[in-house]
Chain A
Amino acid sequence: MASRRRTLLKVIILGDSGYVNKKFSNQYKATIGADFLTKEVQFEDRLFTLQIWDTAGQERFQSLGVAFYRGADCCVLVYDVNVMKSFDNLNNWREEFLIQASPSDPENFPFVVLGNKIDIDGGNSRVVSEKKARAWCASKGNIPYFETSAKEGFNVEAAFQCMAKNALKNEPEEEM
């Protein structure tokens, strides 16, 4: 009974790179505490509401994660392909998330990794290769990997689709 299944997915975005899909505007402000927006995604004839959480990026706010990550269905780790440190930090973010959110099955908790800002300087300032990123993702239990450019919205939709698919796969069979 598809209609009885949960279609709201809580997605946490983490990483040094900042949020992927927010275009610059006068109203754009750094997130204090946490906030989320919702996005409808259709996957295999099912409609999902993604609740996309943006939390304060700075490390010293991480202790808030306990409350904000609670009940997450998916965690998106974002790094900037032009900044090595943001890639190096992916592991910290992943581990911190698992500590704070303490999901019931950490080994199989669905992550997605986004290599962001591939459009910058025509790709000339890129320091993290796709190969390197994919290797890391493979080593962490085959985390799905996407390269995105938030500015052009490139591949962002595909990433969201993947989150829905991921969550669906992870969803316990609860047929009536």
Chain B
Amino acid sequence: MHETELHDLSDDSDYAASQQQASGSIMRCDLGKSAVSEPNGSEVVYSKDNVTIHPTQYASERISGRLLLVKQGSSLFMSWIPYKPSTDGVGYMSRSSNSCPMEKDRSLYTIKSLPLSDVRSIRRHTPALGWQYIIVVLSSGLAFPPLYFYSGGVREFLATLKQHIFIMRSADDANVFLLNDFQDPLQRSLSSLELPGVVSVANRASLRDSLSSVTSADNSERVNQETYDGSASTSEYSGRHKHKAYDPARDLSIQVLEKFSLVTKFARETTSQIFRESHNNGFSPYEKRQQNNYASPNLVGTRPNDAQKNAGVTTVASDPLEFDKLPLVWGKQRETPLCLEEWAAFLDSEGRVVDSKALRKRIFYGGAEHNLRKEVWKFLLGYHEYDSTYAEREYLAAVKKSEYDIIKSQWQSISATQAKRFTKFRERKGLIEKDVVRTDRSVSYYEGEDNPNVAVLRDILLTYSFYNFDLGYCQGMSDLLSPILYVMKDESESFWCFVALMERLGPNFNRDQNGMHSQLLALSKLVELLDSPLHNYLKQADCLNYFFCFRWILIQFKREFEYSKVMRLWEVLWTHYLSEHFHLYMCVAILKRYRKKIMGEQMDFDTLLKFINELSGHIDLDGTIRDAEALCACAGENGTACIPPGTPPSLPVETDMGLYPQDDDVL
């Protein structure tokens, strides 16, 4: 049996030593020198410069380094050592004092003498555009973030591996190379589906070995596992086959690899803890997180027992569709909202925002306290320039007030007689009046009969339809304006903030719907990239138009969360911190959370639309933001490539035709 051979290896002293070293390097990345300065007997068999990781989408935050393969005795080790940044490095300058220091990131991602015996597989990506990269997946299920080969050399890397260790191309995917996988093909393909909590026999053993923690109890357990291997593994995975009808198992294995690569950025910070936990109770930290996640109330579609899963349950992952229970919550812990003291610290003596990127980052991760929104939103929306002074803003407010009054007077001066001959005006006004009376009337600010704030909503929207006559009024606009007026409490300031917002979101309301279509198309590409089984499911269910996400995108999730959370989400989106299109990653994150239900119940378009609509009020905002953050970081360049330039809310490209193409039917 191959397994036997594998275990025999662990009795080999050299092997055990290397494993011990491995566990040390994983648990304490700061220990030991880099591979180049390994003691005698080590030989660098591969060295590649400019191998880079992308912790975020920002080029300035990328970390380049040198990738090495070092042979020591009969073992092969992989290292990736980031370059020391020059002290005036570009990446440093833009970082604020409260952002996490580059140095921490660098040590976080450093790979020191990873024994290749700990690697389960390496996935190669060779996109037609952009850099080649690899994702290294460990036997434990953890993965390192994508390593981008800026100077090429992926093929050479794999060829070098092949010279020194047993490496096999996956039968399922020509871009996946399996290492240390000596099991039968069925087991192999199945094991690529597994969760960390149910690692297969060999991997479980090697994980323990790597932790040098083989107790006698473990030994007996291992014997049992070996005895049962053939049949046990079959039954262990049999649950998966029942979904064969549409089981995207093939894609899922890739999906899993990709998913675990998400994990790495955040998981490495707690690697030692993770291993300790795995060691202590054999229960994966992923599942712990899962429990935490499912302990939160309000999760639609959560069966009662999901919330009650306890540490003893290891069958959680017996079904590949259970993967959505593995939350993607790996984004940074959400922070407390920006408070007044912090806000004041961002401003210089004359009121300029000194480091706008740091401010946007701060708000991205925590939002802003409500009483600061009135000020902060004007910057985020682009109504105020970050480098404007108190005095300039005060002046601007006065100028803009009178400008607003002038535009408003354009429709105010229309007499009843004139209106009779001005159908378009009457219709617009009628449409707006019909909508404002049903916009957020349960929010106290807009509550009750003859509420003056409802009239202000109407006035602003009608004025906007004159300010931007081509675009006019469209349903959904009142939803976008309502929180802005609620925050600003000032008609003119609300109007100009709304104008700034509509600079980006206007195309959502275009007559030809091109803005919506381009976003829905980008969303479908992102899902294809980040969750190909779900994509394949939606494809065969004829749902690829993504119209079931229409409301999410049209009004930035306004209807999906309670009022205060909408304001929180909007300020996060408006930072454009990780991406201008963070809202699309939010969509992916929500869909991923419910993918099991969607696929498991084989929802058709109508059912899916209803399901999505009824998620309103039941989506965990913070968790979803964190998921979206992780997805965004994981997708990186490939994600950006899914979103064509000019896709809203990117600023539209101005043409001679005007921003809002008309057709004959103007309302």
Chain A contact residues, CB within 8 Å of chain B = 10, 18, 24, 26-30, 32-36, 51, 56-61, 63-64, 66-68, 70-71
Name the one of B442, B547, B606, B667 contacting A64, with C-beta atoms under 8 angstroms.
B547
Cα distance A34–B607 when bound, in Å? 12
- Is there contact, CB below 8 Å, between B606 and A51? yes
Q: Mark B282-316, 1 if CB is under 8 A from A, else 0.
A: 00000000000000000000000000000000000
Cβ–Cβ contact B442 & A26, under 8 A = yes
Interface pair A36/B610, CB less than 8 Å apart: yes
Residue numbers in B under 8 Å from A64 (CB-CB): 513, 547, 550
Return the chain B residue nearest A83 by Cβ: B430
Say yes or no for B613: interface residue by CB 8 A criterion: yes
Additional 17 contacts, C-beta under 8 A, given A33-B548, A51-B606, A60-B510: A10-B606, A27-B442, A29-B439, A30-B438, A30-B476, A30-B478, A32-B554, A32-B555, A33-B547, A33-B551, A35-B610, A56-B475, A58-B474, A58-B667, A60-B513, A67-B605, A68-B547
Contacts of B605 in A (CB 8 A): 67, 70
User: Pick the contact of A60 from B442, B447, B509, B609 — CB < 8 Å?
Assistant: B509
**Chain A: minimal CB distance from B461 (Å):** 13
Asked whether A26 lies within 8 Å of B474 as measured between CB atoms, the reply is no
In the docked arrangement, what's the CA distance between A29 and B560, Å?
Answer: 13
Of chain B, the residue at the smallest CB distance from A27 is B442
- Is B11 engaged at the interface, CB distance under 8 Å to the other chain? no
Instruction: List the interface of chain B (C-beta within 8 A of A).
Output: 431, 434-435, 438-439, 441-442, 447, 474-476, 478-479, 509-513, 545, 547-548, 550-551, 554-555, 559, 605-606, 609-610, 613, 665, 667
Whether A29 and B547, one on each chain, are in contact in the complex, defined by CB atoms closer than 8 angstroms, is no
Q: How far is the CA of A167 from the CA of B447 in the complex (A)?
A: 42
Complexed CA–CA distance, A68 and B547 (Å): 8
Instruction: Name the B residues within 8 Å of A58 (CB-CB).
Output: 431, 474-475, 667
| Docked complex Cα distance between A54 and B658 (Å) | 33
| B609 contacts across to A, CB distance below 8 A | 33-36, 68
A57 and B475 contacting across the interface, CB-CB below 8 Å: yes
Between A33, A36, A51, A64, the greatest number of chain B beta carbons within 10 A of the residue's beta carbon is seen for: A33
Q: Residues of A contacting B511 with CB < 8 Å?
A: 60
Give which listed residue, A26, A34, A68, contacts B441 with CB less than 8 A.
A26
Q: List, sorted by A's number, 16 A–B pairs whose CB atoms are closer than 8 Å.
A: A10-B606, A18-B434, A26-B442, A28-B441, A32-B479, A32-B554, A33-B548, A34-B547, A34-B609, A36-B610, A60-B511, A63-B512, A63-B513, A67-B545, A68-B609, A70-B605
**Cβ of A102 to closest chain B Cβ, rounded Å:** 15
Cα A121 to Cα B431 with chains together (Å): 21
Docked pose: A16 CA to B486 CA in angstroms = 30
Q: How many angstroms from the CA of A51 to the CA of B555 in the assembled complex? A: 25
Most buried by A among B479, B551, B554, B606: B606
Complex contact A32–B550 (CB within 8 A) = yes
Name the distance in Å between A100's Cβ and chain B's nearest Cβ. Answer: 12
Docked pose: A10 CA to B667 CA in angstroms: 29
A71 touching B606, Cβ below 8 Å = yes
How far, in angstroms, from A60 to B511 measured CA to CA in the complex? Answer: 5
**Could you count the A-B residue pairs with CB atoms below 8 Å apart for me: how many are there?**
72
A86, chain B: closest CB distance, angstroms: 11
Minimum C-beta distance from A13 to chain B (A): 15
Q: Is the CB of B547 within 8 A of A30?
A: no
Whole-angstrom distance from the CB of A47 to the nearest CB of chain B?
Answer: 19
Q: Are A33 and B442 in contact (CB under 8 A)?
A: no
Select one of B479, B510, B545, B606 contacting A36, CB under 8 A.
B606
B439 nearest CB neighbor, chain A only: A29
> How long is the Cα–Cα vector from A100 to B595 in the complex, in angstroms?
29
- The reply to whether A26 and B667 contact each other, CB–CB distance below 8 Å, is no
Contact call B435/A30, Cβ cutoff below 8 A:
yes
A88 to B511, CA, bound (A): 22
Residue of B nearest to A70 (CB): B605
Contacts of B554 in A (CB 8 A): 32-33
- In the complex, the answer to whether A29 meets B559 with C-beta atoms within 8 Å is yes
Query: Which B residues touch A34, using CB under 8 A?
Result: 547, 550, 609
B667–A60 touching, CB < 8 Å: yes
Q: Chain A residues with Cβ under 8 A from B435's Cβ?
A: 30
User: Are A61 and B438 also in contact (CB < 8 A) when A26-B447, A32-B551 are?
Assistant: no
State how many angstroms separate the Cβ of A81 from the closest Cβ of chain B: 17
Q: B513 near A59 (CB under 8 angstroms)?
A: no
Contact of B667 among A51, A59, A70 (CB under 8 A): A59
The complex places the Cα of A27 from the Cα of B479 at a distance, in Å, of 13
Contact assessment for A61 and B513 in the assembled complex, using a CB-CB cutoff below 8 Å: yes
| Across-interface contacts of B441 in A (CB, < 8 A) | 26, 28
| B448 to A, closest residue via Cβ | A26
Task: Specify which chain A residues have a CB less than 8 angstroms from the CB of B510 in the assembled complex.
Answer: 60
Distance (Å) between the CB of B666 and the closest chain A CB?
Answer: 10
Closest CB-CB distance, B602 to chain A, in whole Å? 16
Q: Are B606 and A61 in contact (CB under 8 A)?
A: no
3 tightest Cβ-Cβ pairs between the two chains A and B: A33-B550, A26-B442, A32-B551
- Closest residue of B by beta carbon distance from A36: B610
How many angstroms from the CA of A71 to the CA of B606 in the assembled complex?
9
- In the complex, which residue of chain B has the Cβ closest to the Cβ of A51? B606
Q: Which residue of chain B has its CB nearest to the CB of A92?
A: B665
Q: How far is A74 from B308 in the complex, measured between Cα atoms in Å?
A: 45
Q: Please, which residues of chain A bring their CB within 8 A of the CB of B610?
A: 35-36
Q: How far is the CA of A51 from the CA of B613 in the complex (A)?
A: 15
Residues on B with beta carbons closer than 8 Å to the beta carbon of A60: 474, 509-511, 513, 667
Which residues in A have their C-beta under 8 angstroms from that of B667? 58-60
Set A28, A63, A67, A70: member contacting B438, Cβ < 8 A: A28
Q: For residue B479, which residues in chain A have a CB less than 8 angstroms away from its CB?
A: 32
Chain A residue at smallest Cβ distance from B559: A32
**Chain B residues, Cβ within 8 Å of A68:** 547, 609
Instruction: Give bound CA distance, A64 to B547, whole Å.
Output: 7
Distance, CA A68 to CA B550, complexed state (A): 12
* Complex Cα–Cα for A66 and B542 (A): 12
User: Are B606 and A32 interface neighbours, CB within 8 A?
Assistant: no
B559–chain A nearest beta-carbon distance, Å: 7
Alpha-carbon distance A28/B437, docked complex (angstroms): 9
- Distance of A93 from chain B, by nearest CB (Å): 13
Q: Is the CB of B475 within 8 A of A67?
A: no
Residues of A with C-beta under 8 A to B513: 60-61, 63-64
List B contacts of A59 (CB < 8 A).
665, 667
* Bound form: Cα–Cα A18–B435 in Å: 11
- Cα of A32 to Cα of B616 in the assembled complex, Å: 13
Q: How far is the CA of A153 from the CA of B439 in the complex (A)?
A: 24
A residues within 8 A CB of B545?
66-67
Residues on B with beta carbons closer than 8 Å to the beta carbon of A10: 606
